[in-house]
């Protein structure tokens, strides 16, 4: 589906940003780059900054207008460095990625990135169904063009992969009875070696219990810990015993 999503760079002034954007796209599995009125392209610096994505860059479409770039698209999103008035539907990059992929199943979709200095003009924004804003530190909100392309492409890649599914555990998680037995065994060993005593038990015991709970050990791991404690018991001696 990502082949149906066009990354459209409009009036890009610096050829290095074109090459770096191509590299960002290839990193994230996108391949459709469209250049509208680039000020310097083709250019050796664009090729150099593309690095391993020179092939993607060479296949880029160079078009005279945004209308040509978005022809046939079912969804067009524009990027904006600042929040617009309430007439605009604003998305973050993650929300935008989901909508782009949904549209890409049946029709092409496009993301427009304006020039480095001025962004997208009002008449260009008027061609968009919604705007993407990438949150940043209010004290320095300016993102480099290729950085913005990288963030949007990353979210598209992650949305296509879907939610992470944890792998099936090799061993079942330890049950409450196993954990209770582990805690009793640990208390006994720590008391035996003098690490836990009446002076610190009230604070130490719950801290250790929380620590083990965060680890979410499985049955095999609990058996390993119990074996370790048993080995400590066998090797430890108490004066007078």
| CA 121 to chain CA mean position, Å | 29
Task: Say whether pLDDT at 3 is over 60.
Answer: yes
Q: What's residue 26's pLDDT? A: 97
The string of pLDDT tens digits covering residues 203-217 is 999 999 999 888 888
Between the CA of residue 55 and those of 22, 47, 69, 127, 128, what are the distances in Å?
Answer: 9, 9, 20, 30, 29
The mean per-residue pLDDT over the stretch 115-131 comes to: 92
Among the four given CATH numbers 3.40.1280.10, 3.40.47.10, 3.40.50.1980, 3.40.50.80, the one describing domain 2-161: 3.40.1280.10
pLDDT one-digit tens code per residue, 51-77: 999 999 999 999 999 999 999 999 999
Give DSSP secondary structure letters for 199-216.
Answer: TTHHHHHHHHHHHHHHH-
Topology of the domain covering 176-235: Helicase, Ruva Protein; domain 3 (1.10.8)
Q: Tell me the domain boundaries of the chain.
A: 2-161, 176-235
């Amino acid at each position: 589906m990502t082949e149906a999503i066009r990354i459209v760079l409009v009036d890009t002034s610096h050829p290095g940003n074109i090459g770096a954007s191509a590299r960002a796209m290839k990193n994230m599995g996108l391949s459709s780059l469209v250049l509208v009125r680039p000020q310097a392209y083709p250019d050796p610096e664009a090729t150099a900054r593309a690095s391993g994505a020179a092939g993607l860059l060479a296949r880029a479409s160079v078009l005279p207008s945004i209308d040509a770039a978005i022809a046939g698209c079912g969804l067009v999103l524009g990027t904006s460095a600042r929040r617009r008035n309430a007439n605009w539907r604003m998305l973050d990059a993650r929300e935008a990625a989901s909508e782009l992929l949904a549209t890409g199943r049946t029709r092409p979709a496009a993301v427009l990135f304006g020039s480095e200095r001025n962004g997208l003009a009002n008449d260009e924004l008027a061609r968009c169904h919604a705007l993407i804003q990438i949150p940043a530190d209010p004290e320095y909100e300016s993102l480099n063009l290729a950085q913005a392309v990288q963030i949007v492409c990353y979210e598209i890649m992650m949305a296509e992969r879907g939610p992470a599914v944890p792998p099936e555990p090799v061993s079942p998680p330890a049950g409450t009875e196993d954990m209770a037995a582990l805690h009793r065994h640990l208390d006994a060993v720590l008391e035996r070696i003098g690490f836990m005593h009446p002076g610190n038990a009230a604070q130490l015991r719950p801290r250790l219990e929380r620590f083990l709970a965060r680890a979410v050990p499985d049955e095999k791991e609990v058996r390993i810990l119990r074996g370790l404690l048993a080995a400590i018991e066998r090797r430890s001696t108490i004066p007078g015993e």
